[in-house]
C-alpha cells in the first residue's frame, strides 16, 4: 500500500480537528456534548461507552453528518477541503447494485478518474483486502465479512487522512474480525488516522492507542490506551471495564 499522500510539504494536513463546546441536540435534548477535544495528526482512537451514550452521534458530528447545535468544530483547513480527505465506514455498509470492483472504483470515478484507471486501482485495493477472487462478482453476493472488507477498500481507495468507523466488526466472525483488524493496522501504519467505535473490549485493547470514553452524552474520559485500561480515572469507566451495567 502506498503511503498516504498528505505530506506536509505538499498540502497542509486537515488535522488537527478541534471540537470546542460542540453539542448535538434534538428537540431540546442533548445527545452529545458539550465536547472539547483535539484529534491530532497521528492516532488510532477507540471510542467506548455504554449503549445510547452518544458514541455514534459524536462520530457523525466529527465527520460532518451532524451539524453542531452549539459550539465549534474546526479542521486545520477549510471544511470543504477537509471533507475530501476523510471517509466513514458504517456498521452495515450500503453497497451499490454493481460488481465488487465497480463499488470500490466508484469514489475515484465520481472524482473524475477514467473508468479503466479507477477499475485498475480498485482491483489493487481489493487484492489488499483479500477480495481478489470476488472482483467481478455482484456485490450483493458477498458475505457479511466480505462486504465490510469491500467497504474498507472503498473507504481507503482515495487514501483518506482520517477514517471513521462505527462498529465495523459487529456481528462478524473471528476470522473476518482478525482480517479487518489487520487491514486497519496497515492503513494506520500507512498514515491514515483512525477513529473507531467498538463494543468489543478485546478489540479495543488490541487496537487502541488512545481511548475516548463516552458516558451520558459527555466525553467522560480521554486517555492513552494503556492508562485507560490499566487504571481508568473514573468509577464509571472502571465499572464499564468490569462489565457492570451502567445506568
Ligand X SMILES: Nc1ncnc2c1ncn2[C@@H]1O[C@H](COP(=O)(O)OP(=O)(O)OP(=O)(O)O)[C@@H](O)[C@H]1O
Question: Site residues (CB under 6 A) for ligand X?
Answer: 26, 31, 49, 51-57
- Minimum CB separation of residue 167 from ligand X in Å reads 7
Angle at 20 between CA 15 and CA 22, to 5 degrees: 105
Nearer to ligand X among residue 175 and residue 245 (C-beta): 245
Nearer to ligand X among residue 57 and residue 177 (C-beta): 57
- Minimum CB separation of residue 51 from ligand X in Å reads 4
Cβ–Cβ contacts within 10 Å for residue 92, how many?
14
- Minimum CB separation of residue 70 from ligand X in Å reads 16
Identify the bridge partners of residue 224 per DSSP, sorted by sequence position.
210
- C-alpha distance from residue 153 to each of 122, 168, 194, 216 (Å): 8, 13, 15, 34
Nearer to ligand X among residue 19 and residue 125 (C-beta): 19
- Minimum CB separation of residue 30 from ligand X in Å reads 9
Nearer to ligand X among residue 58 and residue 131 (C-beta): 58
Separation between Cα atoms, residue 170 and residue 34, nearest integer Å = 28
Q: Beginning with the edge strand found earlier in the chain, give each strand of the sheet holding 193-197 in spatial order.
A: 86-89, 162-166, 193-197, 44-48, 210-215, 218-224
Nearer to ligand X among residue 57 and residue 123 (C-beta): 57
First-to-last alpha carbon distance for the chain, in angstroms, is: 44
- Minimum CB separation of residue 78 from ligand X in Å reads 27
Residue 134 DSSP class? G
Is the separation of the CB atoms in 222 and 210 below 8 Å? Answer: yes
Amino acid at each position: 500500500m502506498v503511503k498516504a499522500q498528505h505530506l506536509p510539504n505538499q498540502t497542509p494536513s486537515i488535522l488537527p480537528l478541534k471540537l470546542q463546546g460542540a453539542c448535538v441536540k434534538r428537540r431540546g435534548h442533548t445527545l452529545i456534548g458539550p465536547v472539547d477535544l483535539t484529534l491530532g495528526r497521528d492516532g488510532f482512537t477507540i471510542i467506548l461507552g455504554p449503549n445510547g451514550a452518544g458514541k455514534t452521534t459524536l462520530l457523525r458530528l466529527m465527520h460532518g453528518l451532524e451539524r453542531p447545535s452549539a459550539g465549534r468544530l474546526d479542521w486545520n483547513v477549510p471544511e470543504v477541503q477537509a471533507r475530501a480527505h476523510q471517509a466513514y465506514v458504517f456498521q452495515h455498509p450500503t453497497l451499490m447494485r454493481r460488481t465488487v470492483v465497480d463499488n470500490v472504483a466508484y469514489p475515484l470515478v465520481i472524482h473524475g478518474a477514467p473508468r479503466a484507471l479507477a477499475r485498475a486501482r480498485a482491483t489493487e485495493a481489493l487484492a489488499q483486502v483479500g477480495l481478489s477472487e470476488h472482483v467481478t462478482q455482484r456485490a450483493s453476493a458477498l458475505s457479511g465479512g466480505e462486504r465490510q472488507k469491500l467497504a474498507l477498500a472503498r473507504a481507503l481507495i482515495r487514501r483518506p487522512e482520517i477514517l471513521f468507523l462505527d462498529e465495523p466488526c459487529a456481528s462478524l466472525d473471528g476470522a473476518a474480525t482478525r482480517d479487518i483488524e489487520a487491514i486497519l493496522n496497515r492503513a494506520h501504519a500507512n498514515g491514515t488516522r483512525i477513529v473507531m467505535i467498538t463494543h468489543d473490549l478485546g478489540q479495543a485493547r488490541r487496537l487502541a492507542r488512545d481511548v475516548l470514553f463516552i458516558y451520558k452524552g459527555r466525553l467522560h474520559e480521554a486517555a492513552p490506551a494503556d492508562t485507560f485500561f490499566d487504571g481508568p480515572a473514573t468509577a464509571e469507566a472502571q465499572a464499564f471495564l468490569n462489565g457492570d451495567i451502567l445506568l
